[in-house]
Structure 1
Amino acid sequence: MLIPITREKFEQLIPLTGTAAQYRYYAGSWPDFLRKLLISFLGVVVIWLLGEITNSGGATVSLFAFIAGLYWLWSPVYWATRRNSSYRRFPYAGFWRGNVLEAFVSEELLGTEETVNEYGELVIVENRERRINLQVGDKNGFEIQIQAPLLRLHRNIKPGQVVELLALSKDPDLERISKVTDAYIPQLDIWVSNYPVLRRDIFVEVSEELSGRRRKRTKASSSRRYSRL
């Protein structure tokens, strides 16, 4: 099932500026925070040195140094806003509901690091992450695979369960889906996502509203059928 949504609702679901969940995503862990602090410090030092070399005005140098010094604070908002813009550039969107066709776990290579062991030998260490893979589809033949970091809650996902997401397209009739967002499994009330694209509270409201309408249509259809009998 694919139901078009208005542009207004689409922009509510994917706001321009980063949400709290998106800020936390880009703020990262404690090592990520320390890395941002280091970048902020180095930025202040570089700007100060350039100001000394070029004899630039004190107010200008102070302003840029202030901005660089707060990189650790504003950078998550910047990167979240930029990522949201990559979704909001699609002019059309629809609420999609299908089913889990298959669920399996894989191990993905994130990168490699070179280090030296206790014998002084160069060793390449692989950074791997376990990920959940969902093959989802609907009765119209649309299928797509969703992948995300594996969480303990994901072990309860089974084929046949309902899955919902937002489908983005450049076509007014949504015939070609160009991109999808994080997926929601209402039966378990859990999400499968790499990045929290959606305002999840609003998406759940849309899901419940559409489910209510569907139940009403089913009841009305059943009533008409029985009345004819």
Structure 2
Amino acid sequence: MLLPLKPGELSRLIPAVATGPQFAASSGNPRKVLQRLLISLIGGVISLLVAQSLFSSRFGPVWLVVGFVFLLYMLWGPILEAGRRNATLRRYPVAALFEGEVGDLYTREVVEERREQAGKQGRLELVENKRTWLCLELEDEEGYLGQVRFPMEKKHQAIRRGMVVRALVLSERKDFARIGAISDAWLPQPKLWVGEYPYLLRPAFEELCLRRLR
């Protein structure tokens, strides 16, 4: 079942500015955090040294600002990334509240990182970091809608076929003949939120479901 959203509801469900959970999700894995930290420190220190050497020049204050921008990269980097991801869904002209069920679920191994390292004989070997992801196929009375996938955790073992699932569906067309994107999803029976990225303001979405799906 698809219930089209009213004007203004999409912007209340998917914010333009990053929320706390979105900031955490956009911060990335420890390797990405370390990369941001190195960029922040190296860029900040170099810019501040240049600003100090040009202190009497008119360009000194400019480099000082650049230095502080680099030092704050650990903060604004994830915020910018979250805003970009939110914008990919907010740009759709049509959105609808979806209620259906888990038609099928299965796991798959996803390569999250590839790197080269020296083996026992000193040769470079390709090492893959894999993680188990759970894929949920969503369907309603009209059939298959789409898929939501995410890294599997122990709590996700409670998910079963036939469970009610709710999500936001976005499209370029008013008849939803072609689905452009699906948000993270809410399973009310086990009270679980699932998805690769927390697009939705979850309390607001749960409240919307209570009002529209009575």
What TM-score, normalized by structure 2, do the two folds share?
0.90
What's the CA shift for 1:70? Answer: 0.7
**How do 1:85-104 residues align onto structure 2 when only pairs under 5 Å count?**
85-104=87-106
More helix by share: 1
The alpha-carbon deviation at position 175 of structure 1 amounts to 3.4
Query: Structure 1, residues 42-96: CA drift from partner, whole Å, max 9, x if none?
Result: 212443576669x761111101111111101111111101111111100110000
Deviation at 1:99, TM superposition (A): 0.8
The amino acid across from 1:92 in the alignment is V
Q: Aligned ranges for residues 1-229 of structure 1 at < 5 Å?
A: 1-48=1-48, 57-212=59-214
Shift of 1:122: 2.0
Partner Cα distance (2:34, 2:197) in 1: 22
Taking structure 1 as the reference length, the TM-score comes to 0.85
Contact 1:44–1:68 under 8 Å retained in 2: yes
1:227 is aligned to none
Percent of residue pairs identical: 33
AA in 1 matched with 2:137: Q
Structure 1's unaligned 5+ residue stretches are 213-229
Aligned counterpart, 1:216:
none
Q: How far apart, CA to CA, are the structure 2 residues paired with 1:26 and 1:56?
A: 37
State the structure with more CA Rg.
1
Hey, what's the Cα distance between the residues in 2 that align with 1:119 and 1:56?
56
Aligned residue type for 2:191: D
Corresponding residue SS for 1:155: helix
Aligned length: 211
CA shift, 1:8, in A, is: 1.1
1 or 2, which has the higher strand percentage?
2
CA distance in 1, matches of 2:90, 2:69: 27
Distance of 2:9 and 2:139 partners within structure 1? 24
Q: Distance in 2 between matches of 1:62 and 1:107?
A: 46
Cα RMSD over matched residues?
A: 1.9
